[in-house]
Structure 1
Amino acid sequence: MNCQCGEIVTPGLLDVFDARQWLIDAAMPLDAVEEVTLEQAAGRVLAETVVAPLDMPGVDNSAMDGYALRLADYQATPGGEGLPVLQRVPAGAGVLLLPQGGCARIFTGAPVPMGADIVVPQERVTLNQRGHIHLKGGLVVGANIRRQGEETRIGTSLLAAGTFLDAASIALLASHGINAVTVKRRLRVALLSTGDELIAPGTVRSPGQVYDSNRAMLNVLLAQAQCDVLDLGVIADSPQSLHQAFEHAQTVADVVMCTGGVSVGEEDHVRPVIEQRGGLHFHGVAMKPGKPFAFGYLGAELSSSTPLIALPGNPVASLVGWQLLALPFIHAMQGRDVAALQRYPVKAGFSQRGPQGRCELLRVVLDWSQRVPVAQLAGGQGSHMLSAASQAHGYLMINPATQVTEGSSYHYYPLNQFAA
């Protein structure tokens, strides 16, 4: 999948989907593993395939509250007098033998007595004055019985290596009595911002200074992605400071991530320092916002180097770069399967001039008042405007030289797919 803009992008810029695939292919998954308890496993990535230690279900059990019986016994009752209830089987009981010529009152999850071949839901059963059951509706042998091993058999694969452990997968492990798993070690990411103008939130701001929102944002995003963050703070706009910061970062982290200073201005020192300390795989992506995105490495030998992701300084550009490009790289480094981007057509509720030379990601909200979604701009679209980004439901991706026309459909990418 690409934005179909390869022929008309600004020269020297990489197509956004080509850049995404480049990053995924370049990622070298961590080898280090550790064992954690199930309580500690949420959000971790399995390092080894887990094999089922049990049949699931462990025995034939009832899918309903009702009555377990042998259908032939019921059909053979003289004069349709029904079957007496001779047994009661609650959940947690052992496997019993069904009495000849009778039935068992049974509850959901309880073992089906040996000899029974059907469970009839209680709402289809009436009891006569003698306490014999009478059944309504069609009867099929095997109905409402969960067979032993119908979900999983002992020795079959339960969860594959690379599985992201969410609530459902942890519940599956718990249902098999598993209380510890081997997972990938957490990815260590060294994070730093560059810029003499940046100051920490909570301090007094002088004219020309800017609060550092990127580092606050990326700390959260990296934590949500189950990374251990080594926050190196704000680094001054000087080659010497950047050399020192990168030298330290590459020795303590699996990945280095920085924001700002990656463009081509006279005060943008990040790119030349990266090239001096390692190299760049690519610099510049044909997307708006996010064009200055760069991917490189720190170290003399490529095989033993530390990968580096340089995000733009404008906060929305940094956010978009994280979502579309950095996050799949992080997932691949963690050994996770990288999900394909989700998109579907949505009509625009506005018109505007199309982008030139780059795909544009418009921050939009979905209006459902007409029963079908219509995309409306979430606010100002400047790459420095976090207010629209904080309200947006997703992105409309507009190809270069494509006018946005009210009522026409464009690719919509929901933001919830980037929730790490």
Structure 2
Amino acid sequence: MNCGCAEVITPGLVDLFDARERMATAARPVAGGERVALEEAEGRVLGDAVAAALDLPGVDNSAMDGYALRLAELTPRGLPVIQRVPAGAGVMHLPEGGCARIFTGAPVPIGADAVVPQEKVRLDAEGRVHVEGGLSPGANIRRQGEESRAGTPLLASNTRLEAAAIALLASHGIAEVTVRRRVRVALLSTGDELIEPGQPRAPGQVFDSNRAMLKSLMAHQSIELIDIGVVLDDPHELQRALERARDEADLVVCSGGVSVGEEDHVRPAIERLGGIVFHGVGIKPGKPFALGFLGESLDAGTPLVALPGNPVASLVGWQFLALPLLQGCQGMTPPPLQRFPVKAGFSRRGPRGRRELLRVVIDWSSGTPVAQLAGGQGSHMLSAASQAHGYLLVDADTDVEEHHAYGYCPAAQFGR
């Protein structure tokens, strides 16, 4: 039975997109950098812009396996093959009156003005080349420097280095890059009931899934983790843990104890050591999310993200709100939230007073994307979140109707 607790409308909640913008603008990029080998740069953020080291391609080369020739020399008698140019060969001159057998990536001989793919060539009994179909000057030739010229910008500073960017750097022979230092993130969970996975469990105790989940999410962000562990619901213990986090980290992330119950001690501890910027976001799940700071101010102190204790609410809070703050601390501009319309494959009473983020899977069996519920939608239910492809974003006071279109946010954009 639903007690209706989740339908209580709380005044003063920050809109999801306003909160996301405030998180991004609150970030201050960390100072300092280091030089790392390219094979160690995955996930790191460029500290300095990188210029092209050479022209790419370095010379005019062939985009096809085929034959390099002069268009003016094509005749009904065909052209003899008088040269062979493999990839890695030096630049040759094409003698008059013939063509060159050439392979993808090989330098186009000087004098040739087109490459004809081998699929469009017929060889006669004498081995002469006859071209089938039309051909225009420059066909199938990659021109020197058409991708980049030596000295021109290659990658901007604050670019996150992933596979394609690393391949681009390698293609210029660049073996080392300057990257920003890793953001130091202090992580803690709060709650007397929490124990580590693998420990014996007494009645009333629960395993700390939030910290395991957040560690996994952070592992994709190339940060330096300071794992403070589980902190008891004791004001003095919590204050000591937050003081350590403040002194050692660039960003503090805690989960649990941020609501307004008698045993929720996180907010008072934050206010003693710093302050709260905002508390409460108009989303379901994830309403108790808070942004705060430890120190004199948000600008001068250490930013703190307080995530809800319910695991799915904590997941949503990280993906939609905390991640943009971390990306800003890394020096990056957080990308806009990806949203595209999908049809709902179910009907459901909509949320009251706040947006709802339903965990869904996308069904393509009809040829168009249809969102289906991934399972139970309680903020404590990780099963659906573990199967979901993303989130169906339902506006406040809007019922979900089958076959109608709604905004969809894919989980892939959050680093899953």
TM-score norm. by structure 2 comes to 0.95
Are 1:199 and 2:225 an aligned pair?
no
Partner Cα separation in structure 2 for residue 70 and residue 404 of structure 1: 65
Partner Cα separation in structure 2 for residue 235 and residue 100 of structure 1: 82
Work out whether residues 9 and 400 of structure 1, in 8 Å CA contact, stay in contact via their aligned partners in 2: no
1:191-228 C-alpha deviation (Å, 9 max, x unpaired): 00000000011111111111000000001111111111
Give the aligned partner of residue 269 of structure 1. 265
Work out whether residues 27 and 329 of structure 1, in 8 Å CA contact, stay in contact via their aligned partners in 2: yes
Give the aligned partner of residue 3 of structure 2. none
Give the aligned partner of residue 397 of structure 2. 401
1:24 Cα offset (Å): 0.3
Give the aligned partner of residue 186 of structure 2. 190
| Deviates further, 133-142 or 176-185 | 133-142
1:380 Cα offset (Å): 1.4
1:220-277 C-alpha deviation (Å, 9 max, x unpaired): 1111111111111100101100110011111111101100000011111100110110
1:127 Cα offset (Å): 2.6
Work out whether residues 51 and 158 of structure 1, in 8 Å CA contact, stay in contact via their aligned partners in 2: yes
Change (3 A) 1:89 1:289: same
Quick one: which of 346, 352, 365 aligns to 2:342? 346
Partner Cα separation in structure 1 for residue 17 and residue 195 of structure 2: 34
Quick one: which of 368, 371, 382 aligns to 2:367? 371
Are 1:33 and 2:29 an aligned pair?
no
Alignment-mate amino acid for residue 166 of structure 2: I
Q: Secondary structure at the match of 2:408?
A: strand
Are 1:20 and 2:20 an aligned pair?
yes
Partner Cα separation in structure 1 for residue 376 and residue 394 of structure 2: 16
Work out whether residues 344 and 370 of structure 2, in 8 Å CA contact, stay in contact via their aligned partners in 1: yes
1:132 Cα offset (Å): 2.3
Alignment-mate amino acid for residue 72 of structure 2: A
Q: Secondary structure at the match of 1:304?
A: coil
Work out whether residues 163 and 337 of structure 1, in 8 Å CA contact, stay in contact via their aligned partners in 2: no
Give the aligned partner of residue 104 of structure 1. 100
Partner Cα separation in structure 2 for residue 353 and residue 105 of structure 1: 68
Are 1:360 and 2:368 an aligned pair?
no
CA RMSD of aligned residues (A): 1.5
Partner Cα separation in structure 1 for residue 13 and residue 111 of structure 2: 72
Alignment-mate amino acid for residue 36 of structure 1: V
Partner Cα separation in structure 2 for residue 109 and residue 348 of structure 1: 48
Partner Cα separation in structure 2 for residue 408 and residue 135 of structure 1: 54
Gaps of 5+ in 1: 1-7
Partner Cα separation in structure 1 for residue 132 and residue 355 of structure 2: 63
Alignment-mate amino acid for residue 335 of structure 2: A
Q: Secondary structure at the match of 2:145?
A: coil
Partner Cα separation in structure 1 for residue 282 and residue 135 of structure 2: 64
Work out whether residues 26 and 298 of structure 2, in 8 Å CA contact, stay in contact via their aligned partners in 1: no
1:9 Cα offset (Å): 7.1
| Deviates further, 161-170 or 317-326 | 161-170
Work out whether residues 70 and 114 of structure 2, in 8 Å CA contact, stay in contact via their aligned partners in 1: yes
Work out whether residues 56 and 144 of structure 2, in 8 Å CA contact, stay in contact via their aligned partners in 1: yes
Partner Cα separation in structure 2 for residue 69 and residue 201 of structure 1: 69
Are 1:159 and 2:155 an aligned pair?
yes
Spell out the pairing of 1:213-232 with structure 2 (5 A cutoff).
Answer: 213-232=209-228
Spell out the pairing of 1:299-310 with structure 2 (5 A cutoff).
Answer: 299-310=295-306
Q: Secondary structure at the match of 1:119?
A: strand
Partner Cα separation in structure 2 for residue 386 and residue 102 of structure 1: 69
Spell out the pairing of 1:204-353 with structure 2 (5 A cutoff).
Answer: 204-353=200-349
Q: Secondary structure at the match of 1:279?
A: strand
Change (3 A) 1:98 1:281: same
1:304 Cα offset (Å): 2.6
Give the aligned partner of residue 71 of structure 2. 71
| Deviates further, 265-274 or 366-375 | 366-375
1:330-350 C-alpha deviation (Å, 9 max, x unpaired): 111111221111112222222
Give the aligned partner of residue 121 of structure 2. 125
Give the aligned partner of residue 61 of structure 2. 61
Partner Cα separation in structure 1 for residue 314 and residue 161 of structure 2: 28
Change (3 A) 1:71 1:370: closer
Aligned length, in residue pairs: 409
Partner Cα separation in structure 1 for residue 27 and residue 262 of structure 2: 31
Identity %: 66
Give the aligned partner of residue 10 of structure 2. 10
Partner Cα separation in structure 1 for residue 123 and residue 373 of structure 2: 64
Change (3 A) 1:70 1:29: same
Work out whether residues 9 and 15 of structure 1, in 8 Å CA contact, stay in contact via their aligned partners in 2: no
| Deviates further, 206-215 or 400-409 | 400-409
Q: Secondary structure at the match of 2:34?
A: strand
Work out whether residues 46 and 162 of structure 1, in 8 Å CA contact, stay in contact via their aligned partners in 2: yes
1:15 Cα offset (Å): 0.6
1:277-313 C-alpha deviation (Å, 9 max, x unpaired): 0111111111111011011110135443111000000
Q: Secondary structure at the match of 1:83?
A: coil
Gaps of 5+ in 2: 1-7
Q: Secondary structure at the match of 1:309?
A: strand
Partner Cα separation in structure 1 for residue 31 and residue 289 of structure 2: 27
Are 1:171 and 2:167 an aligned pair?
yes
Change (3 A) 1:170 1:9: farther
Alignment-mate amino acid for residue 174 of structure 1: A
1:82 Cα offset (Å): 2.3
